[in-house]
Structure 1
Amino acid sequence: MPLDQEELEAIQSVRTGTRHVRAGEVILDHDTNGEESMTLFSGWAMRQRALESGRVQITSFLMAGSFIDADFELANGDGYSIEAITDVELCVFSTGDLKKRFGENAVLSRALATLAQSEEALLFEHMTDIGRRTAMERLAHFLLETHTRQKMLGMAGNDYCSFPLRQRHLADAMGLSLEHVNRMLKELKDKGWASIADGRLYILDFSGLSRYCDFDDSYLRPRPIF
């Protein structure tokens, strides 16, 4: 949501600093100080859940603007963590001071509620992916979602965007094997729908791919709840 200078200054007043985390390092786990909150200023990260068996489920990918409430995130258990995929820069806040500031400002409260609503919409769509879309439809939908999210942030062209994810990330996010992901990516390229090369995702036929996986970007467009 657009914020005026007064609201931006209110947020800045409770920012305690910035933090740089290298690719592959942990941003948050059960050892993290739960009194801090963060926003992802630049780079990519992932929320993940490690099982006793060693298998990992990636629950979401974080991009610029994503909010991390450490106290809330840590309630998910010891196996839950957030890890940097690329080098990232974080803005760090005192959770208590931030919540107090948001509670005093109606516009900031609405902005936070809208952000929470957007996160919920993403999770609902991902539940549909796993429950009702085929593996190929799931992958196609994720690629379109990723391109659209970056385009909304002003970080993508009409038919391409940055894509630092490896095939193992896609497999762990969608509950698929590496071999299956590899075959599907090849098929998407052969059909002239999408391809990944040199750290970029290319959407070669947006309309065709959208029709195939029933992609509608309305769930990615935040709507104020009041």
Structure 2
Amino acid sequence: MTPATITYPISTDAIRSFLKKIIQDSKIHSRWLNTISFLEHMGSRKILATQSGFEMGEMILRHASEEARHAHFFKRMSDRVSPGTCPDYKQENLHCGYPAFLYFQRLDGMVLKNLKQSGIKGQKQSFLSYLYVTHLIEERADFLYNEYDQILEENGISVSLKAIIKEEESHLSEMQNSLAAEDSDYKTRYAFFQEKEKKNYLKFEKSLLKSVGL
């Protein structure tokens, strides 16, 4: 089965406007980087919480460890941009932290509900949920991180996301291949999930824009 085509149907203008605005204030920028760290940490924690049984293979273990390393990278970059501003993940140290959390949780719940309704149960349900949610998040991260990296470079800010982007793209390819092998309805199911993810993302993006007066 041919993997679903990756498309980015959302305009880049809005998120670029947000990023250009946020980098103008080092403390706000630090909280934004800390929020990305928080999301990467959530991803790592979710993988370990749901996939750490005896069936765990090298791919899952590597993915969890890379997500944790990404969380650490963004935490260090947060401190580089504004030292001491964001020591932890408390709400006051995150930028739109709750909307970010909701984005993640809604995706997780939506995928799980669909798989349950399709009669997929047990370990198969858990594994497919991990693959689909990861696929959706990695696809959105690829979009956001590429835009972010370009803005950072254009403004001479000494934070580069190129290594992170390369690993996220590798994760994305791995998820596509695994889903094509594991789910005969992959293309149809993923197209449905993409539309749901787009709506969730736009809610998150709206919160981001509002937070900086856009």
Give the number of the structure whose alpha-carbon radius of gyration is greater: 1
The answer to whether the superposition gives a TM-score over 0.5 is no
TM-score, L = length of structure 1: 0.38
Bigger proportion of residues as helix: 2
Higher strand share: 1
Bigger relative contact order, structure 1 or 2 (CA pairs below 8 A, ≥6 apart):
2
- TM-score, structure 2 length as denominator? 0.40
